[in-house]
Amino acid sequence: MGRRLVEAAHDWAVRAGLREMRMHVFGGDHAARSFYQSLGYSPGATQMHRSLPLADPVLRIVLARGSEGTGMEDLLEPAARRIAGLVPGPAPIESLDYPATATITSFDWPGWVRLGSSPREGIRALVTLLEDHAAHSPTVPVVLMGFSQGALVITEALTPPRRRHHGFAAPALSDRALGVVRAAVSVGNPSFRAGEPFNRGTPAPGVNGMRARTPGLLDHVADRVFDFAEHDDVSAQHLRTSTVEGHLAYGARGYVERIVEAVEPLLRTSAPERP
């Protein structure tokens, strides 16, 4: 297959959201590497190194799914495809390779969820991915999007290790790695903190998530973070009136469009300056 045809097929698959593309890109680290390799990239630790002279990506989109994979089909994947369509070149989409497991003993308020080692593994995987990407493709921006546990993984990775709820052993992101993050979208985050300048959606005033982070921990990336919460989401809004149904309703409530609208202006800006 000629270079231009391969590029066109890749670009069309990303925008069309073909089932085969989802199977490859969203099927985990091994499947994602196979997809990249089919486009002329050879697998590395987390970075795909070119073995054929294909067009370089102009954007990389990394999705962190919710527990047991929730949020992918109706929220993260559609938003990612829309965002990929906003840039004038290849914008590969991939799912962060982490367990995304949870043990849920109660769906009713206040709810009870045991995440075990899953967030810790996710934070380590995301830190490794960003550091590797910054080392090999420092001019290619990255958009991070996460739902529920995946949102927690993203915001925890951006947080200084000693202030995290999970993943203390994963190192702090370097300035170079932070510099490649163009946008970080968090939806239904159990560590949602009321009053932050980057909060979006319909959160109730003064109401935090199940395990809220300390205020100000994301000040260093506040210009690139969007933390979406619905007023009845039991994860991000820990109220007696909150429900699991509210937690799972983002896709049906128009949040694909809200995510795209939030990220689009940042795709037109230059990357933050790195020391």
Report pLDDT for 114.
Answer: 86
Say if residue 52's pLDDT is above 50.
no
Say if residue 195's pLDDT is above 70.
yes
- Exposed, middle or buried, 66 (CB in 10 Å: 0-12/13-18/19+)? buried
Cα angle, residue 130 at apex, residues 168 and 98 outer, rounded to 5°: 60
Taking alpha carbons only, the member of 227, 218, 100 closest to residue 163 is 218
Ranges 114-118, 124-128, 212-216: which has the least confidence:
114-118
Report pLDDT for 21.
Answer: 34
Say if residue 63's pLDDT is above 50.
yes
Say if residue 251's pLDDT is above 90.
yes
Displacement of CA 54 from its chain's centroid (Å): 26
- Of 274 and 231, the structure prediction assigns the larger pLDDT to 231
Report pLDDT for 107.
Answer: 63
Say if residue 58's pLDDT is above 60.
yes
Q: What is the average per-residue pLDDT within 33-57? A: 48
What's the N-to-C CA distance of the chain in angstroms? 42
Ranges 95-109, 164-178, 212-226, 249-263: which has the least confidence:
95-109
Say if residue 11's pLDDT is above 50.
no
Displacement of CA 25 from its chain's centroid (Å): 14
- The residue with tokens 């050879």 is 42
Q: What is the average per-residue pLDDT within 209-225? A: 96
CB 77 within 8 A of CB 26: yes
Report pLDDT for 106.
Answer: 67
Say if residue 218's pLDDT is above 90.
yes
Contacts of 142 (CB under 8 A, 6+ apart): 59, 60, 61, 62, 130, 133, 180, 181, 182
Ranges 22-26, 73-77, 79-83, 235-239: which has the least confidence:
22-26
Return d(Cα 120, Cα 170) in angstroms, integer.
8
Say if residue 275's pLDDT is above 90.
no
Which tens digits make up the pLDDT trace of 125-176? 999 999 999 999 999 999 999 999 999 999 999 999 999 999 989 999 999 9
Return d(Cα 172, Cα 178) in angstroms, integer.
10
- pTM recorded for the entire structure: 0.80
Say if residue 23's pLDDT is above 90.
no
Place 185 in a pLDDT band, splitting at 50, 70 and 90.
Answer: very high
- Of 114 and 227, the structure prediction assigns the larger pLDDT to 227
Return d(Cα 78, Cα 251) in angstroms, integer.
9
Say if residue 13's pLDDT is above 80.
no
Say if residue 4's pLDDT is above 70.
no
Place 10 in a pLDDT band, splitting at 50, 70 and 90.
Answer: very low
Return d(Cα 229, Cα 247) in angstroms, integer.
9
Report pLDDT for 197.
Answer: 98
Return d(Cα 21, Cα 14) in angstroms, integer.
7
Report pLDDT for 35.
Answer: 39
